[in-house]
Structure 1
Amino acid sequence: MLFQLTAAGMTTPADSATETRKVNPFDVIKIEGNFNVVLVPGSACSLKVTAGKDILPSVLNKNTGTTLSISMKPGTQGSATLEIGIKDIVQISLNINGSVSSAKEIKADNLALNLDGNTGGTLLLNVKMLTFNSTTEKDLVVKGKAGKCIGKLTGDGNTDMSELKVEDMTIEKSDDGDLKIFAHPDLSATMEGTGKITYYGNPKKKIFHIHGNGQIVEGK
């Protein structure tokens, strides 16, 4: 198979193509399949799909109310890259074998972030209330700020939220990966499994519950 070098320095199949799909306005995203996802905050909702020409027809997208769902036909071999323009987003749910990234800061009053499968990457957030659920097996980095965060992690990937400045954090972790967080002034953390929570921010109020061989330690 021939490959070509993109402007970003990544190699893609030489027979790849990009389609701009028509989508209705949405505030919920649900994606499942072999995708790399790039979220582009802006003034309008949009979708661009880049993949091999033989794979493009197998990438399915549909709007149901205010939800945009994207998947692949069963049995599809290969992957695709999704560039998704978002506006007024309230939920991002990914069950993918690939990466997720944001082109710039994702702003929201209330955001539910649900990650499953093998989802890795880096996200930049600016939200008042973040509900975060992760069962991913890959490493993830979340940066930015949040007024309040309620999180539950059950996957074995390592999660670095040390650059997500959270004022009030409640976190539950029951896996074997490592988690880094920042909280000030309030932190409540529950640890199960054999992993480790490292916290930063010198929180004034700390409530810890440890079950099993896990650790909760202050970062230096």
Structure 2
Amino acid sequence: MQKSLFILSFISVAIISLSSCNIFCEKGTGNTTSELREVLEFDEIDINGQATVFIEQGPKVKVEVQIDSNLLEFVKTKVSGMELKIYDDKCFEEVSKYEIHITVPKLTKLYVDGSVSIESGSPIKSNNLYIKTKGSGNINIGVDTDDLEIVTKGSGNMKISGRTSDLEIDLDGSGSIDAFGLIAKKVDADVEGAGVCNINASEKFYGNVGGSGKIYYKGNPKKVKTDVSGSGSIKAK
């Protein structure tokens, strides 16, 4: 009897917990609106949420939010130091449109968390660029840099093109990085887990795989050094 009561109590708590997950979520009305946010100068971006974000370079900073009118107040944008932070103050449901358009003269760091999607209209020009992603988001950008570092954790996917002199990649999880379209002189790639990484190196390539991950490389680099531990692989394309 006690066991039955325990099971019923457990099921009841589970049902209440699951149903309460969406109690505080805001539903979109379907009427979208656009708002320009007043922000200070920034060269770093930190985004958390579920928006589709478009980044482009221009002479002045600009942040425009497009979303259902009743959800606009819950999209927070603020600058701390030189970092623009964008996040959702509540969870959203049935959002008809959620886009953020960002214009920035210079970008040095990009942090992405959650299910955010990132796109760039033209290559992002910067001497040094650091990109860190976490979650299930998708990123499709072009770059023109001297030094590019990418750190990815989770199941997200990234496609990156353009050029860089030095490329450093740290991929942990089941995500993927497709950098075949990114011409680099020197590449240092480390993959842990089940992730897949494609790179293009013209001079030097150092690759390390732990777990079941895979690295594919092309570009006929003059110097190649690889290390694999586990069932993963590193192969030339």
With normalisation by structure 2, the TM-score equals: 0.84
Return the structure number with greater strand share.
1
Aligned-partner SS, 1:56: helix
Deviation readout 1:8-59 (Å, 9 max, x if unpaired) = xxxx975111111111110111111111111011111110001111111100
- 1:89 aligned partner: 107
Which residue matches 2:14?
A: none
State the match for 1:139 in structure 2: 157
Matched residue, 1:102: 120
The residue that corresponds to 1:212 in the other structure is 230
Q: Contact (CA 8 Å) 1:58, 1:76: kept in 2 or not?
A: no
Q: Output the CA distance in 2 between the equivalents of 1:61 and 1:115.
A: 19
Residues 14 and 75 (structure 1 numbering): CA distance in 2 closer, same or farther, change over 3 Å? closer
**Which ranges of 4 or more aligned residues in structure 1 deviate by more than 4 Å?**
none
Instruction: Give SS of 2:73's match.
Output: helix
Q: CA deviation at 1:99?
A: 1.2
Whole-Å separation in 1 of the counterparts to 2:110 and 2:154: 14
Q: State the one-letter code of the partner of 1:160.
A: D
Query: Is contact 2:204-2:224 (8 Å) kept?
Result: yes
Residue identity over aligned pairs, in percent, reads 23
Q: Do 1:35 and 1:96's aligned partners in 2 also have CA atoms closer than 8 Å?
A: no
Q: Which residue of 2 aligns with 1:9?
A: none
Structure 2 matches for 1:28-47, cutoff 5 A?
A: 28-47=44-63
> Structure 1: how far apart are the matches of 2:31 and 2:72?
11
Of 186, 199, 207, which residue of structure 1 is paired with 2:217? 199
Amino acid in the other structure paired with 1:37: V
Residue 54 (structure 1) aligned with residue 70 (structure 2)? yes
Instruction: Tell me, in whole angstroms, the C-alpha distance in 2 between the residues paired with 1:150 and 1:140.
Output: 14
Measure, in 1, the Cα distance between the counterparts of 2:167 and 2:98.
31
Q: Which structure has the larger Rg over C-alpha atoms?
A: 2
Cα offset, 1:136, TM superposition: 3.7
Cα displacement (A) at 1:163: 0.7
| Contact 1:154–1:175 (Cα < 8 Å) also in 2 | yes
What is the match of residue 3 of structure 1?
A: none
Kindly state the Cα deviation for residue 115 of structure 1 after the two structures are TM-superposed: 1.0
Q: 2:138 aligns with which of 120, 138, 141?
A: 120
Give the drift of 1:155: 2.6
Aligned equivalents of 2:161 and 2:55: distance in 1?
A: 14
Count matched residues.
Answer: 208
Which of residues 18, 29, 42 in structure 2 aligns to 1:26?
42
Deviations, residues 47-80 of structure 1 (Å, cap 9, x unaligned)? 0001111111100011111111011113443472
CA RMSD between the two structures: 1.6
* Preserved contact between residue 33 and residue 96 of structure 1 (Cα < 8 Å): yes
Whole-Å Cα distance in 2 between the matches of residues 210 and 21 of structure 1?
Answer: 48
CA distance in 1, matches of 2:183, 2:199: 8
What secondary structure sits across from 2:139 in the alignment?
strand
Identify the match of residue 199 of structure 2 among 170, 175, 181.
Answer: 181
Query: In structure 2, what residue type is equivalent to 1:25?
Result: E
Q: Is the 8 A contact 1:16 1:53 kept in 2?
A: yes
Which residue of 165, 178, 188 corresponds with 1:160?
Answer: 178
**Secondary structure, counterpart of 1:171 in structure 2:** strand
Partner of 1:23, secondary structure, is: coil
Query: Partner amino acid for 1:23?
Result: V
Higher helix share: 2
